[in-house]
């Protein structure tokens, strides 16, 4: 027991691996040691009391000793207070230093402000002096019509005047600003007057130099002044044109459309020889003149066409005349488009360097004809309506042309070229609703050609039934139009306006020609079938019940094979594979199916 107690006392309660169970087992290793529980309890309590006393003593020493936490806390608070006092002292010194520096630099700042204001005042005064001097000089030059000097001086005056926009509340500046505005108006009116007098008296050649310099003044005055002078010149040049062609029904009629364009060419020739050198190139006066001519002519045509549609006698415009005028107009538009599109652009250093050419002459006049192109479409409709009966009555091939396996009915070739020419012509005239109307007209007569011409050949009565060669011609023609109808649709879609593309559809027409081709194949098969009628009758009339012997082959079979082979070879010889595509195989398949069913 004593040994166990010694071992138990040797165990440190502070050990990291302390195990209370092990400790208890050492204190009470055997049931007989339970009687010592009271003594062990007293020992433990005594040990606990001793430890408690030690803890209390140490706590007291820690709290009230010379290095206690309370004293350290009080010392820290005192040091912190001292630190705050030092910081406040430094802050007060910094404020005082800033005040001293501000006081020292205040005079310097006032001096800098005074220098800046003095510089601005001197600059403004110098500019005002320059403006006043330039203004007085400009007044004198304007009266003397010395436009070259006026142009450069006016630019300087306007540039200087912009510096005083914020000073217009000052009476003297406001008065000077009004004076500058007044001299601008005087120069504008003076230059316009000089141009009017020179043109009215025919003195353009003698005063050319003055007018050229005057254009420089107009450039300095700005876009509004320049536009006024150009508008006056354009109206002056076109006055005669308007008087001749608007005031005279005969001269202004569509029959004399060529006279309008001839007049314009003479006018432009005179402009280039006499007036073009007066105006700066970047003004593009020639182009403006041409555009004004086109606008006026377009309005004239609209009036003429509207008047023609309201004729009392009910007669319509001659379609051929309409097309002739339209074609001549489009040729004219293209000529002036080429003329002005090749002109050199203004230099990036010119005042109008940002002015890009945003318009085109194509369609500038011909747009007036577009609402009346329906008459042309109606004319094409009538032409096609007359062609279909003629195609139906005429021979499939010309008299001087022999049949060939690749041949196509001559009317199909003629119709194809007519469609091609008509489509090309319409696309030049209009790519909008009129082209869509034409597409519908072409589709209409493709259907009629398929039904009334091609299918009618295959549906002739027995006494005038189509020959094998005629059927092959129909087959070739149907295949030709099936291919070209799809290409025609794509061609129209490429030319028509994008918003109308979805309305172009020739699928039903292509399918119609495919149906004609199928009917032609069936007609060829019927040819084979007709040759076999005798053999089939023999088979039908045979009394099978009285036959006494059975042979390898009935008599009608040999005849049937002979007829099938002969007719099939004839047909397949002219339904050539490279040209006819799947049709030879279709003929063979249908023949087999017919004879086996």
pLDDT in tens, 144-169: 889 898 888 888 888 888 888 777 78
Q: Residue 235 corresponds to which tokens in the numbers above?
A: 């109206």
- Residues 490, 572 within the same domain: yes
- Residues 450, 588 within the same domain: yes
Q: Which of 342, 372, 377, 579 has the alpha carbon at shortest distance from 483?
A: 579
Mean of pLDDT values over 572-590: 51
- Residues 384, 519 within the same domain: yes
Question: Cα separation of 269 and 339, whole Å?
Answer: 13
For residue 445, being part of any structural domain is answered with yes
| pTM confidence score | 0.60
Cβ–Cβ < 8 Å for 587, 572: yes
CA 509 to chain centre: 33
- Residues 276, 392 within the same domain: no
Three-state SS string over 525-550 comes to HHHHHHHCHHHHHHHHHCCHHHCCCC
334-352: per-residue pLDDT in tens?
A: 899 888 886 554 433 333 3
- Residues 418, 276 within the same domain: no
Question: Cα separation of 127 and 450, whole Å?
Answer: 88
* pLDDT for 579: 44
Q: Does residue 57 have a pLDDT over 50?
A: yes
Question: Cα separation of 305 and 369, whole Å?
Answer: 8
For residue 147, being part of any structural domain is answered with no
Question: Cα separation of 215 and 225, whole Å?
Answer: 10
Mean of pLDDT values over 8-28: 75
Which range of residues forms the domain containing residue 453? 379-541+552-596
Q: Which of 463, 564, 447 has the alpha carbon at shortest distance from 515?
A: 447
Q: Does residue 547 have a pLDDT over 70?
A: no
Cβ–Cβ < 8 Å for 259, 325: no
Mean of pLDDT values over 22-32: 79
For residue 187, being part of any structural domain is answered with no
Q: Residue 503 corresponds to which tokens in the numbers above?
A: 């309305």
* pLDDT for 578: 40
**Least-confidence region, from 2-11, 143-152, 478-487, 506-515:** 2-11
For residue 211, being part of any structural domain is answered with no
Question: Cα separation of 199 and 243, whole Å?
Answer: 18
CA 436 to chain centre: 22
pLDDT tier for residue 532 given thresholds of 50, 70 and 90: low
Concatenating the DSSP letter of every residue in 94-128 gives HHHHHHHHHHHHHHHHHHHHHHHHHHHHHHHHHHH
- Residues 581, 448 within the same domain: yes
For residue 198, being part of any structural domain is answered with no
Q: Cite the beta strand spans of 34-92 per DSSP E.
A: none
Q: Residue 497: which CATH number?
A: 1.10.357
Q: Which of 409, 422, 530 has the alpha carbon at shortest distance from 478?
A: 409
- Residues 341, 398 within the same domain: no
Cβ–Cβ < 8 Å for 194, 210: yes
Cβ–Cβ < 8 Å for 595, 577: no
**Backbone angles phi and psi of 279, in degrees to 5:** -90, 145
Q: Which of 126, 138, 215 has the alpha carbon at shortest distance from 180?
A: 138
Q: Which residue has the higher pLDDT, 444 or 314?
A: 444
Which of 38, 64, 90 is the last residue before a domain boundary?
64
Domain count, the chain: 3
- Residues 577, 445 within the same domain: yes
The CA–CA distances, whole Å, from 94 to 31, 44, 87, 91, 539 equal: 86, 69, 10, 5, 135
Q: Does residue 589 have a pLDDT over 70?
A: no
Cβ–Cβ < 8 Å for 557, 513: no
Q: Does residue 206 have a pLDDT over 80?
A: yes
Q: Position of tokens 């009339």?
A: 541
pLDDT tier for residue 116 given thresholds of 50, 70 and 90: confident
User: What is the overall mean pLDDT for the chain?
Assistant: 80
pLDDT tier for residue 591 given thresholds of 50, 70 and 90: very low
Question: Cα separation of 423 and 498, whole Å?
Answer: 17
């Amino acid at each position: 027991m004593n040994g166990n107690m010694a071992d138990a006392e040797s165990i440190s309660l502070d050990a990291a691996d302390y195990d209370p169970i092990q400790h208890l087992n050492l204190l009470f290793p055997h049931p007989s040691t339970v009687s010592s529980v009271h003594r062990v309890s007293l020992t433990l309590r005594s040990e606990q009391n001793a430890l408690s006393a030690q803890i209390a003593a140490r706590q007291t020493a820690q709290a009230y000793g010379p290095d206690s936490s309370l004293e350290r806390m009080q010392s820290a608070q005192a040091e912190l207070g001292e630190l705050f006092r030092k910081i406040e002292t430094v802050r007060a010194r910094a404020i005082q230093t800033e005040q001293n520096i501000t006081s020292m630099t205040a005079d310097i700042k006032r001096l800098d402000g005074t220098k800046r204001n003095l510089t601005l005042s001197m600059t403004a005064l110098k500019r005002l002096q320059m403006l006043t001097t330039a203004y007085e000089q400009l007044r004198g030059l304007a009266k003397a019509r010395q436009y070259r000097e006026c142009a450069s001086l006016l630019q300087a005056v306007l540039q200087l005047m912009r510096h005083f926009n914020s000073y217009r509340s000052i009476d003297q500046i406001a008065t000077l600003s009004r004076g500058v505005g007044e001299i601008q108006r005087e120069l504008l009116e003076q230059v316009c007057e000089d141009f009017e007098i020179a043109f009215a008296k025919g003195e353009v050649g003698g005063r050319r130099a003055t007018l050229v310099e005057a254009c420089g003044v107009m450039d300095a005055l700005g876009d509004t002044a320049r536009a006024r002078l150009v508008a006056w010149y354009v109206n002056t040049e076109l006055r005669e044109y308007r008087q001749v062609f608007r005031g005279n029904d005969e001269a202004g009629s569509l029959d004399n459309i060529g006279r309008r364009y001839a007049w314009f060419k003479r006018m432009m020739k005179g402009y280039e020889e006499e007036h073009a050198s007066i105006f700066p190139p970047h003004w593009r006066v020639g182009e403006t003149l041409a555009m004004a001519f086109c606008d006026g002519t377009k309005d004239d045509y609209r009036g003429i066409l509207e008047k023609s549609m309201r004729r009392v006698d009910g007669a319509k415009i001659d379609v051929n005349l309409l097309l002739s005028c339209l074609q001549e107009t489009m040729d004219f538009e293209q000529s002036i488009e080429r003329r002005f599109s090749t002109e050199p652009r203004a230099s990036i250093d010119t005042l109008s360097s940002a002015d890009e050419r945003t318009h085109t002459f194509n369609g500038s006049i011909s747009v007036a004809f577009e609402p009346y192109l329906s008459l042309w479409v109606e004319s094409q409709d009538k032409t096609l309506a007359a062609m279909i009966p003629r195609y139906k009555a005429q021979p499939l091939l010309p008299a001087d042309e022999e049949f060939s396996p690749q041949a196509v009915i001559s009317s199909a070739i003629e119709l194809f070229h007519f469609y091609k020419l008509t489509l090309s012509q319409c696309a030049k005239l209009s790519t909008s609703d009129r082209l869509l109307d034409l597409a519908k007209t072409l589709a209409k007569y493709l259907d009629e050609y398929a039904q009334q011409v091609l299918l009618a050949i295959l549906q002739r009565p027995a006494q005038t039934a189509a020959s094998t060669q005629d059927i092959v011609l129909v087959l070739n023609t149907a295949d030709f139009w099936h291919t070209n109808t799809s290409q025609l649709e794509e061609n129209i879609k490429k030319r028509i306006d994008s918003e109308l593309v979805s309305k172009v559809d020739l699928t039903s027409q292509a399918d119609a020609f495919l149906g004609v081709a199928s009917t032609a194949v069936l007609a060829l098969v019927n040819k084979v079938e007709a040759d076999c009628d005798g053999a089939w009758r023999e088979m039908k009339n045979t009394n099978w019940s009285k036959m006494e012997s059975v042979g390898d082959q009935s008599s009608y079979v040999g005849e049937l094979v002979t007829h099938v082979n002969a007719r099939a070879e004839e047909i397949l010889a002219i339904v050539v594979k490279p040209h006819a595509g799947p049709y030879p195989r279709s003929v063979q398949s249908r023949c087999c199916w017919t004879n086996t069913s």
